[in-house]
Amino acid sequence: MEAFLPPPVDLLSNLPLSLCTMNNCESQEIVEAANIAISNLLPTKSRSLYDIAYNRFKNENVLLAYFSENAKNYKSSTLWAQYSMVKSCLIIYDNIDISKFPKLIAFLKRTGDGYQAKKSKILTKSEIDRFLSSADDKEFLMIKVGLILGIAGACRTDELVNLTVDDIEDVRSSLSVKIPNTKTKIPRIFVVTDVGNMLELFRKYLSLRPPHVKHKRLFLYYKAGKCSSQPVGKNTMGKIPSVVASYLKLPDVACYTGHCLRRSSATLLADAGVDITTIKRHAGWKSTTVAEGYVENSIENKTKIANQVLVGTTTSAITKTVNVSESNIPSHINFENCTNVTFNLNVNK
């Protein structure tokens, strides 16, 4: 085997100065390049918050004193958010892992005892259908389209705001919707099928788009049956669930936050008996714990468990076509003008 030889000098002469002086670890160019690379590791939106958190703490006692004081005024979820920012900065800048600070972790866990995070209320299938069928299009068309896409795709508010006309493909019998930029950096695609008049509502809203609009954002301000060229912002989009709840005269309207559409979509899937893997894929979650929360809180699943525990039965989905004559139908049951009748049966096994 030939011995390894360094590259000829004439090749080194073509390299940038900063690479030719790698043996000088304190080179100003190297330090600056490293600092730029490190700064890009932090989230762009909240980088200033991370820097503030980093400048405050560098040892466990200081951290413990700070969080102990903050625990008097902040919820457990806020304390953990602050911990996450400090942890990220100390790992990136100083290679210090505060997750190995036992006293700090024990204290933060104790602050969470008995704490239950407030979650947005959800819209049921019947409430969604009632709003889509009864609300006046002249006033609520944009709200309807946002509701349809938000529920169908388990969308976050930002995802709806940034949706463009190029992200939606109308293939007559359905809409194929792509969410290119997500919180988890994983693009998602979902489909809106021709249920009720959902596709008709979308096409009606899209047809009102002014021809002179220079941007491609899908959602435009809508009033009195007309769209303006101004795109809908995050605050307006986040109020869609509360507008629906207010129209339907539901209690606690303020509890229907922008996260309602995403929670409602996942809960509808859980109620339908969909497995956790499918729910995770649909909503783009990486964490199984989050998806399990929806299944756990599903009333439909709790009903199935109650039947299994109290009655000793399981609910099975059975599809069967039968011919029923009028002679063997009980007199108190009337099937006139009925189509696609569904029977839910409890089957003893």
Mean pLDDT by 10 residues, the chain (349 residues): 44 41 53 60 62 61 84 84 81 78 86 73 93 95 96 93 95 92 86 91 95 94 94 94 96 92 90 86 84 71 79 54 55 60 55
Residue 193, token pair as written in the block: 């099928």
What pLDDT does residue 311 have?
A: 73
What pLDDT does residue 36 have?
A: 62
Of 93, 104, 81, the closest CA to residue 51 belongs to 93
What pLDDT does residue 21 have?
A: 45
Residue 103, token pair as written in the block: 């006293």
What pLDDT does residue 216 have?
A: 94
Residue 298 CA: distances (Å) to CA of 14, 43, 235, 308:
65, 34, 29, 16
Phi-psi region of 340 (alpha: psi -120 to 50; beta: other; left: phi over 0): left
Helix (H, G, I), strand (E, B) or coil at 217: strand
Of 147, 132, 148, the closest CA to residue 256 belongs to 147
What pLDDT does residue 28 have?
A: 63
What pLDDT does residue 327 have?
A: 54
Residue 258 near residue 241 (C-beta atoms within 8 A):
yes
What pLDDT does residue 14 have?
A: 42
Strands 346-347 and 174-179: unpaired
Of 78, 259, 94, the closest CA to residue 183 belongs to 259
Helix (H, G, I), strand (E, B) or coil at 190: strand
**N-terminal to C-terminal alpha carbon distance within the chain:** 73
What pLDDT does residue 89 have?
A: 76
Residue 184 CA: distances (Å) to CA of 77, 195, 285:
20, 29, 8
Helix (H, G, I), strand (E, B) or coil at 342: coil
Query: CA 292 to CA 298: how far, in whole Å?
Result: 10
Residue 139 near residue 247 (C-beta atoms within 8 A):
no
What pLDDT does residue 339 have?
A: 59
Helix (H, G, I), strand (E, B) or coil at 284: coil
Q: How far is CA 228 from the centre of its chain?
A: 28
Helix (H, G, I), strand (E, B) or coil at 325: coil
Query: CA 343 to CA 301: how far, in whole Å?
Result: 18
DSSP of 50-115, one letter per residue?
Answer: HHHHHHH--SHHHHHHHHHHHTTTS-HHHHHHHHHHHHHHHHHHH---GGG-HHHHHHHHHHTTT-
What pLDDT does residue 13 have?
A: 43
